[in-house]
Structure 1
Amino acid sequence: MSVQRPLFGFGAHTVIEDAAGLLRMAQQADRDGLDHFSLSDHPYLGDRVDAYAAIGFVLGRTEHIAGLANVTNLPTRPAPMLARTVTSLSALSGGRVVLGMGAGGLWDRISDMGVPRLPAGDAVDAFEEAIVLVRKLAGGGPPVTHRGRHYRVEEIEPAPVAAPPVWTGSVGPKSLAATGRVADGWIPGHAADWLSERYRTSRPVIDEAAAAAGRDPREIGTIFNLPGRITDRPLRATRDRDGRWIGGSPEQWAEELTRAVLEHGASGFTLFSPEGGTQDLASVGRWGQEIAPAVREAVAKEAGGRPAHEARR
């Protein structure tokens, strides 16, 4: 397998008052050739835009960029309805949707929405079952009856649209194994990058589960949420004392991300601000106009069609 073209996107935590700013940023990213934008999904926060309403709105005002929730708050969005949402968005946008999935983390707030609290193990089981059911309810075919532990549907017709790729925000061993069995991509939690201990210990769990399920682990990409500053001049150090990436000049970013793809198998990157929130418009512009093209060119040149790193993710 040759090294694939890395994906580049930006992430946002958009409040209602800045909805127009989100659209401007997404339209600029669309023009600049970025691959995706992601929105957080916290429906219990009244000042935030609803992730899926915003994704649909932005997709309707752009042409190429894909949208995803990073990650979907599954307990508040039952899988059969989520399947209808993402297949509809895919049909309306020409396939420009990724399904970002999570088991649910802030259960105190989730239960405040009237959703029954699930023990951690049950939440992960529901997460895996939901991915399976979303896929059953896509791609056409005969009516679906599904009688699982957490979801039941009776003779429901699948949408005549393929299911979108599924990226998960798995953190614990059980959810990581579920990612290996049923997902297409993994977004490491806590903004862990390719040099972090979390990545080194978590990715093998995905790979082992994928292999046990008869899948090629290399088919499951790793897309990193990556906070950092984009500076005019090179920084003396691009990582802090704990080894966490803090940013640098466009050239420093390009060098680091090229190594991440070629040496550590990174599949893509979603840019956030240094504090983990939405980046400013100018930085997203430099990300799309300078850094992403430089990395793509370097990867294409250095890979040269050779086999990918054996740990390709």
Structure 2
Amino acid sequence: MTGHDIVFGFGAHSGIDEAPELLRMAQQADRDGLDLFSLSDHPYIGGRLDAYAAIGFILGRTQHIAGLANVTNLPTRPAPMLARTVTSLSALSGGRVVLGMGAGGLWDRIADMGVPRLSQGDAVDAFEEAIVLVKKLSGGGPPVTFQGRHYQVHQIDPAPVAAPPVWTGSNGPRSLAATGRVADGWIPGHAADWLSERYRTSRPIIDEAAAAVGRDPREIRTIYNFPGRITDRPLPATRDHEGRWIGGSAGQWVEELTGAVLEHDASGFILFSGSQGTADLMTLGRWAGEIVPAVREAIAKENG
């Protein structure tokens, strides 16, 4: 995936027993013109598909849609090998992959996998090093030697494939600042949207860190995990008493998302169900068939 077009995707099932449905949904979304499917990455849960095995399989059975681990469980996937994984997927799929990155959240479970536990500060440092290293090990060029605190490689040839866009799931100030310095996009945590306090207090940290290293903050996209119901009739209120989006009719969705792009610089939306689970096939069909084309048309008309 390249460029700064607004992207529309969906959060997909990742249970092993749901694999046939996962493939059906991804293939339908691919036919319907969605840009992205995303899978969670929790390798300590035995009933879940491995995110990258599943992404590779789905990319091999689709034509246009890109895959995203939302977000990669970095502590269990060492950065040099992660670089090989994502550049290989990119080469095999014609660039249809986005690298979602997280510093690691559920450390008790991560440690249960035999991974050395890191402090929060060290985990964020390792996360920033990992993004830098993945990019260094992509795009060709001379052998790479990298001596970080957490990662070291010596004279390793980079893949002759561009690094995919890197979107982070950063939450804390240090992680947000790292996103501003080295990443390409940000997925706000806890399904926070552009009207949330989390967004209002977090996005300036990204922007300031980007500017401090000479980057244009607008290079770092904001893509939202966005749960909600699609209803047959308009709802009297599309947000709850805390201001969180709950959904509405297709027309209400179109109005909300168009405003998010034009007024709040939103760069993309990944649909989840109202309970933050996976949308069903019918909801996914309405998202791709009714809402997404109308938002794209409204944005194109406005940018005219």
The answer for the alignment partner of 1:152 in structure 2 is 152
Extract structure 1 runs of 4+ deviating beyond 2 A: none
Percent of residue pairs bearing the same amino acid type: 81
The answer for the alignment partner of 1:102 in structure 2 is 102
Counterpart contact for 1:140–1:158, Cα < 8 Å: yes
Whole-angstrom distance in 2 between the partners of 1:156 and 1:277: 40
> Following TM superposition, by how much is the alpha carbon of 1:252 offset from its aligned partner in structure 2, in angstroms?
0.4
The answer for the alignment partner of 1:246 in structure 2 is 246
- SS of residue in 2 equivalent to 1:98: strand
Is 1:114 paired with 2:120?
no
> Following TM superposition, by how much is the alpha carbon of 1:240 offset from its aligned partner in structure 2, in angstroms?
0.5
Counterpart contact for 2:13–2:19, Cα < 8 Å: no
Whole-angstrom distance in 2 between the partners of 1:5 and 1:46: 36
Q: Which runs of structure 2 are paired with 1:74-93 in the superposition (5 Å)?
A: 74-93=74-93
Whole-angstrom distance in 2 between the partners of 1:40 and 1:218: 27
Whole-angstrom distance in 2 between the partners of 1:280 and 1:196: 26
- SS of residue in 1 equivalent to 2:234: coil
Q: Which runs of structure 2 are paired with 1:64-79 in the superposition (5 Å)?
A: 64-79=64-79
Structure 1, unpaired ranges of 5+: 305-313
> Following TM superposition, by how much is the alpha carbon of 1:147 offset from its aligned partner in structure 2, in angstroms?
1.0
Number of equivalenced pairs: 302
Deviations 1:136-178 (A, max 9, x none): 1011111111111000111111101000000000000000000
Whole-angstrom distance in 2 between the partners of 1:48 and 1:113: 15
Counterpart contact for 2:33–2:288, Cα < 8 Å: yes
- SS of residue in 1 equivalent to 2:179: helix
Counterpart contact for 1:83–1:138, Cα < 8 Å: yes
> Following TM superposition, by how much is the alpha carbon of 1:134 offset from its aligned partner in structure 2, in angstroms?
0.3
- SS of residue in 1 equivalent to 2:97: coil
Task: Give the structure-1-normalised TM-score.
Answer: 0.95
Q: Which runs of structure 2 are paired with 1:295-310 in the superposition (5 Å)?
A: 295-304=295-304
> Following TM superposition, by how much is the alpha carbon of 1:249 offset from its aligned partner in structure 2, in angstroms?
0.7
The answer for the alignment partner of 2:255 in structure 1 is 255
Whole-angstrom distance in 1 between the partners of 2:185 and 2:5: 15
> Following TM superposition, by how much is the alpha carbon of 1:12 offset from its aligned partner in structure 2, in angstroms?
2.1
Task: Give the structure-2-normalised TM-score.
Answer: 0.98
Deviations 1:237-289 (A, max 9, x none): 10011100000111100000000000000000000011111110111111111
Counterpart contact for 1:5–1:299, Cα < 8 Å: no
Whole-angstrom distance in 2 between the partners of 1:22 and 1:7: 20
- Bigger relative CO (Cα 8 Å, ≥ 6 apart): 1
The answer for the alignment partner of 1:214 in structure 2 is 214
The answer for the alignment partner of 2:195 in structure 1 is 195
Q: Which runs of structure 2 are paired with 1:219-238 in the superposition (5 Å)?
A: 219-238=219-238
> Following TM superposition, by how much is the alpha carbon of 1:231 offset from its aligned partner in structure 2, in angstroms?
0.8
